[in-house]
């Protein structure tokens, strides 16, 4: 079914309004850095990121319309287009690149990647993701309007259109950001109470329970909803209350590889780290690949439309039909591929550059259509990265590129592909928003390219700060996705992976698929400590409470309450991410015998009781701001 060409955008094609203004560019760049840094921190904590398009649009309306007293929906759209690029680029980078830092930590002879290397890899991936999406726009956005819903893109357009009639949504985002920032500083800066409350289950050896009482986790749970957060929590229960007790019960007096001590002498966290994370890794890998295989009909259909789209002539009459010229797109993609190959600081060979071009366009096509069907949050980018790493590592090993050189090259190839897929998905959502409101596609595409460059420069600094403060792979920054990618590459290249445990996870994933349940949320719950999935589940419960609130005058009011919660949750995530980066800076500033962060540390004097009380107050604030009714106009 194709678009019948009866759709008319909010701003007609023959009307010209301010769009790519200096205000939009500067504000978009700031939001790209802020939301990119916040999502980098979040992804390194829990292995997932959240879309920044809607909060960026809301912040834009609050500043441009209310503070600057300007009124241009296309200008606001440009801000969210540039601003959301940071989140997508961060997702691709933190899912893979920390593996290089972890190898450098394990072997003093290996150097961690420098800033230039990180920036070059991320910027090249971001630019390719945008360019590969350009020839797909007509087929996916225009011809299938009404067929592919593009959930986040459509929702963002609704927010922008609602801003034209007035609202107070931006205040909710800033409230969440401020409250989260203060809370995070008290919890992890001053350490007034423990940010992680844990309890032992004495009657069940090997079991354990806990909760990270942090704002971003509750926000993630609310945005995901009860179903997804519930699946994650179920995965945590399977791991921490079924598998770990089984291991402790039947293997109590033995030493089982890959651990090197008696299971009876291991702590709960050690049992998880030695065994369960490999089971979870197998489940996540299988889940990602199964999700990818299920989209094969979609992949074939999209490729066919993309090839057909190459023969279409660009319209010179309508502003809303103008894309970047095809010679620029093809020349730009080729130039970037050559740069990736010849840059001495990037360990990618000619074979690697060819893999990137072929798989890059392939997965850009997959990603763009996937987000059109199920949204960016459910886009299996990690599955695409795993598939790329398996093939790239095997090819590199077969051609004689082995050891650390081969593994580093595979990770860099996987990073570029991961960023390409994430950026292509984000670009397609933004172009959908622009299609609805009447933006100029070429200007949006240029904005995405600019956002990719700005975000790539920022992400390198953010990753260095976070690694210097806490180290990737630590309890503070477990970097679950990157740890998984590291295991995959090591397993293929050196055979060091405990395949028995991994295949147990694969079996669990297949069983979950047969039951008709979504694999990835359960698998991520298996892979992550239960301390992370518990607060996410509580955030999902609050979303369920708001969705089922009986005292609503209309469905429109109920939807408004739900949207308020999403905006407040976005603020919670952004606020914690910003303070997390600030605390990382404080943690590396020398002060007396330690760092400045050590100097202000109160040692968690309120203990677990304080943790629960403060987190309960935070959850109450989420309910309070969700139930706010609009009173003022922007």
Q: Which residues pair with 503 in a beta bridge?
A: none
3-state secondary structure of 145: strand
Q: Which residues pair with 148 in a beta bridge?
A: 145
The confidence score (pLDDT) of residue 126 equals: 94
Q: Is the Cβ–Cβ distance between 90 and 40 less than 8 Å?
A: yes
The confidence score (pLDDT) of residue 508 equals: 93
The confidence score (pLDDT) of residue 116 equals: 86
Confidence of residue 308 (pLDDT cuts 50, 70, 90): low
Task: Of 548, 525, 526, 546, give the one whose Cα is nearest residue 537.
Answer: 525
pTM of this prediction?
Answer: 0.72
Residues 6+ apart with CB under 8 A from 34: 86, 574, 577, 578
**How is residue 36 written in tokens?**
């990119």
Would the pLDDT of 152 be above 50?
yes
Confidence of residue 22 (pLDDT cuts 50, 70, 90): very high
The confidence score (pLDDT) of residue 315 equals: 45
Write out 47-93 in H/E/C secondary structure: CCCCCCHHHHHHHHHHHHHHHCCCCCHHHHHHHHHHHCHHHHHHHHH
- Please give the DSSP secondary-structure letter assigned to residue 202: T
d(Cα 204, Cα 107) in Å, to the nearest integer? 38
pLDDT tens per residue across span 466-511:
888 888 888 778 888 888 788 888 888 877 667 788 889 899 999 9
**How is residue 505 written in tokens?**
């996870």
Task: Of 197, 208, 203, give the one whose Cα is nearest residue 272.
Answer: 208
C-alpha R_g of the chain: 24
Q: Is the Cβ–Cβ distance between 427 and 92 less than 8 Å?
A: no
111: alpha, beta or left, given left = phi > 0 and alpha = psi -120 to 50? beta
Backbone angles phi, psi at 197, to 5 degrees: -100, 125
What residue spans define the domains of the chain?
Answer: 1-634
pLDDT tens per residue across span 580-622:
777 766 766 666 666 665 667 677 788 888 999 999 999 999 9
3-state secondary structure of 400: coil
Q: What is the mean pLDDT of the segment spanning 415-440?
A: 90
pLDDT tens per residue across span 365-399:
777 876 776 556 556 576 677 778 888 888 888 88
The position carrying tokens 């949050």 is 377
The position carrying tokens 């979303």 is 543
Mean pLDDT of the chain: 82
Task: Of 374, 484, 360, 480, give the one whose Cα is nearest residue 423.
Answer: 360
pLDDT tens per residue across span 94-146:
888 999 999 988 888 888 888 888 899 999 999 999 999 888 887 778 877 77
Q: Which residues pair with 210 in a beta bridge?
A: 198
pLDDT tens per residue across span 550-559:
777 678 888 8
d(Cα 539, Cα 600) in Å, to the nearest integer? 30
Task: Of 447, 416, 426, give the one whose Cα is nearest residue 324.
Answer: 447
**How is residue 364 written in tokens?**
């850009």
Confidence of residue 528 (pLDDT cuts 50, 70, 90): confident
Question: Could you tell me what percent of the chain has a pLDDT over 70?
Answer: 85
Q: Is the Cβ–Cβ distance between 35 and 173 less than 8 Å?
A: no
Q: Which residues pair with 145 in a beta bridge?
A: 148
Confidence of residue 633 (pLDDT cuts 50, 70, 90): very low
Q: Is the Cβ–Cβ distance between 188 and 195 less than 8 Å?
A: yes
Q: How many angstroms separate the Cα of 159 from the Cα of each of 49, 310, 563, 567?
A: 21, 33, 10, 11
Q: How many angstroms separate the Cα of 399 from the Cα of each of 88, 253, 392, 491?
A: 32, 44, 11, 17
d(Cα 80, Cα 335) in Å, to the nearest integer? 28
Q: How many angstroms separate the Cα of 367 from the Cα of each of 364, 438, 451?
A: 5, 24, 19
**How is residue 101 written in tokens?**
């830092």
Would the pLDDT of 186 be above 80?
yes
Write out 237-267 in H/E/C secondary structure: HHHHHHHHHHHHHHCCCCCCCCCCCCHHHCC
d(Cα 222, Cα 446) in Å, to the nearest integer? 33
Would the pLDDT of 632 be above 50?
no
Q: Where are the alpha helices (DSSP H) in 515-554?
A: 519-527, 530-547
d(Cα 96, Cα 106) in Å, to the nearest integer? 17
The position carrying tokens 């500067």 is 26
d(Cα 66, Cα 496) in Å, to the nearest integer? 58
- Please give the DSSP secondary-structure letter assigned to residue 141: I
Task: Of 362, 481, 467, 414, give the one whose Cα is nearest residue 49.
Answer: 481
Task: Of 132, 137, 130, 156, give the one whose Cα is nearest residue 3.
Answer: 137
Would the pLDDT of 292 be above 60?
yes
Q: Is the Cβ–Cβ distance between 247 and 551 less than 8 Å?
A: no
Q: Where are the alpha helices (DSSP H) in 185-325?
A: 215-238, 244-250, 268-271, 277-294, 296-309
d(Cα 355, Cα 360) in Å, to the nearest integer? 8
Weakest-pLDDT range from 284-293, 347-356, 460-469, 588-597: 588-597
d(Cα 480, Cα 463) in Å, to the nearest integer? 15
């Amino acid at each position: 079914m194709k678009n019948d060409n009866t759709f008319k955008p909010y701003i007609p094609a023959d009307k010209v309004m301010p769009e790519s203004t200096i205000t939009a560019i500067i504000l978009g760049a700031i939001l790209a850095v802020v939301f990119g840094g916040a999502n980098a921190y979040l992804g390194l904590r829990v292995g997932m990121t959240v879309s920044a398009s809607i909060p960026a649009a809301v912040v834009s309306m609050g500043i441009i319309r209310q503070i600057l007293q300007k009124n241009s929906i296309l200008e606001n759209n440009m801000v969210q287009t540039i601003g959301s690029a940071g989140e997508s680029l961060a997702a691709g980078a933190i899912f893979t690149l920390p593996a290089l830092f972890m190898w450098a930590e394990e072997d003093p002879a290996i150097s961690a990647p420098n800033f230039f290397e990180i920036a070059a890899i991320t910027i090249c991936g971001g630019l390719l993701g945008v360019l590969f999406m350009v020839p797909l726009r007509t087929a996916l956005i225009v011809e299938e309007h009404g067929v592919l819903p593009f959930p986040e893109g459509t929702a963002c357009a609704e927010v922008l259109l609602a801003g034209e009639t007035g609202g107070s949504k931006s205040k909710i985002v800033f409230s969440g950001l401020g409250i989260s920032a203060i809370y995070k500083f008290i919890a992890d800066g001053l350490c007034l109470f423990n940010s992680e409350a844990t309890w032992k289950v004495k009657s069940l050896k090997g079991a354990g329970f806990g909760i990270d009482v942090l704002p971003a986790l509750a926000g993630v749970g609310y945005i995901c909803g009860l179903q997804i957060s519930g699946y994650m929590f179920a995965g945590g229960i399977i791991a921490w209350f079924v598998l770990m007790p089984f291991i402790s019960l039947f293997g109590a007096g033995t030493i089982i590889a890959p651990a090197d001590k008696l299971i009876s002498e291991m702590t709960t966290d050690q049992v998880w780290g030695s065994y369960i994370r490999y089971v979870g890794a197998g489940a996540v890998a299988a889940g990602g690949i199964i999700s990818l295989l299920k989209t094969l009909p979609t992949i074939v259909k999209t490729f066919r439309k993309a090839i057909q789209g190459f023969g279409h002539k660009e319209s010179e009459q309508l502003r809303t039909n103008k894309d970047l010229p095809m010679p620029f797109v093809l020349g730009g993609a080729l130039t970037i591929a050559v740069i990736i190959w010849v840059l001495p600081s990037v360990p990618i060979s000619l074979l690697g550059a060819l893999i990137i071009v072929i798989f890059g366009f392939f997965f850009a096509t997959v990603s763009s259509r996937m987000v059109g069907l199920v949204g960016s949050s459910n886009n299996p980018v990690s599955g695409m990265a795993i598939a790329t790493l398996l093939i790239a590592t095997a090819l590199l090993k077969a051609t004689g590129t082995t050891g650390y050189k081969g593994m580093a090259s595979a990770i860099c190839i996987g990073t570029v592909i991961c960023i390409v897929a994430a950026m292509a998905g984000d670009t397609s959502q933004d172009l959908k928003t622009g299609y609805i409101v009447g933006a100029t596609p070429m200007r949006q595409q240029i904005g995405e390219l600019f956002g990719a460059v700005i975000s790539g420069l920022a992400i390198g600094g953010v990753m260095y700060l976070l690694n210097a403060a806490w180290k990737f792979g630590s309890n503070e920054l477990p970097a679950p996705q990157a740890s998984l990618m590291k295991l995959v590459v090591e397993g293929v290249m050196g055979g060091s992976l405990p395949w028995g445990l991994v295949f147990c996870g694969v079996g669990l994933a297949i069983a979950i698929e047969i039951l008709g349940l979504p694999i990835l949320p359960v698998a991520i719950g298996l892979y992550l400590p239960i301390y992370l999935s518990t607060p996410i589940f509580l955030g999902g419960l609050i979303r369920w409470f708001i969705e089922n609130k009986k005292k609503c005058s209309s469905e429109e009011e109920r939807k408004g309450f739900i949207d308020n919660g999403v905006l407040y949750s976005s603020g919670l995530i952004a606020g914690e991410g910003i303070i997390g980066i600030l605390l990382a800076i404080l943690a590396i500033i020398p002060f007396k015998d330690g760092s400045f962060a050590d100097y202000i540390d109160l040692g968690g004097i309120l203990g677990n009781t304080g943790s629960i009380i403060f987190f309960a107050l935070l959850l109450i604030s989420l309910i309070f701001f969700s139930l706010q009714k609009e009173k003022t106009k922007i």
